[in-house]
Structure 1
Amino acid sequence: MQICLHGFVSGKVQGVSFRQCTQGEAERLDLNGWVRNLVDGRVEVLVEGEELAVRELEAWLARGPERARVDALELEEQPVQGIAGFIVRR
């Protein structure tokens, strides 16, 4: 079953390769969507694909890459949008 999650990651999540590592994890899991930095210091993410893979990325987002510190992860299910590929938005 395909699902889509959209939300925000808070903490020390900018300047620590969070977006690039998220893209790598998403591509490894064959997921689609995007990730971007926000001016308030959070990272916004939208990810869709097979539910088990999306949940695996959700668990990874709660930890983040080695240099990150995730204080909060807020994700909500959204309708699947049919996005192809996973990109880092600027």
Structure 2
Amino acid sequence: MARICLHGYISGTVQGVSFRQSTCAEAQRLALDGWVRNLVDGRVEVLAEGDEEAVRRLAKWLERGPAAARVTDVQLEEQALQGIAGFIVRR
């Protein structure tokens, strides 16, 4: 199976709604590696790598996020694999 890495930004009501924790749980469920963090401008930044199908599933999930989130934009770009192990919430 091909491994890919996506990095990008999620905009909308995505802070204060458990977006990072929910993203981390979903990524771990999909056996992905990477991280998620809040940015000072109100967006969430994410980097996810792993099996291409699983990464694409997370990308689709990011379009809606957890129930309390209101996602208005998702910008993801493929980049070189980072070799990260595990998925964490960065502070």
Q: Is the TM value for this pair above 0.5? A: yes
Q: Distance in 1 between matches of 2:29 and 2:68?
A: 20
Q: What is the 5 A alignment of 1:39-54?
A: 39-54=40-55
| 1:73 Cα deviation after fit | 0.1
TM-score for the superposition, normalised by structure 2: 0.98
Gap runs ≥5 in structure 1: none
Q: 2:88 matched to which residue of 1? A: 87
Number of equivalenced pairs: 90
| 1:48 Cα deviation after fit | 0.2
Q: 2:6 matched to which residue of 1? A: 5
Q: Distance in 1 between matches of 2:33 and 2:66?
A: 19
| 1:69 Cα deviation after fit | 0.3
Q: 1:33 matched to which residue of 2? A: 34
Which deviations, in whole Å up to 9, do the C-alpha atoms of 1:25-54 show, x marking residues without a partner?
A: 000000000000000000000000000000
| 1:12 Cα deviation after fit | 0.1
Q: What secondary structure does 1:63 align onto?
A: coil
Q: Distance in 2 between matches of 1:81 and 1:21?
A: 22
Segments of 4+ moved more than 3 angstroms: none
Gap runs ≥5 in structure 2: none
Matched letter for residue 84 of structure 2: I
Q: 2:64 matched to which residue of 1? A: 63
Q: What secondary structure does 1:30 align onto?
A: coil
TM-score for the superposition, normalised by structure 1: 0.99
Seq. identity, %: 71
Q: Distance in 2 between matches of 1:28 and 1:7?
A: 20
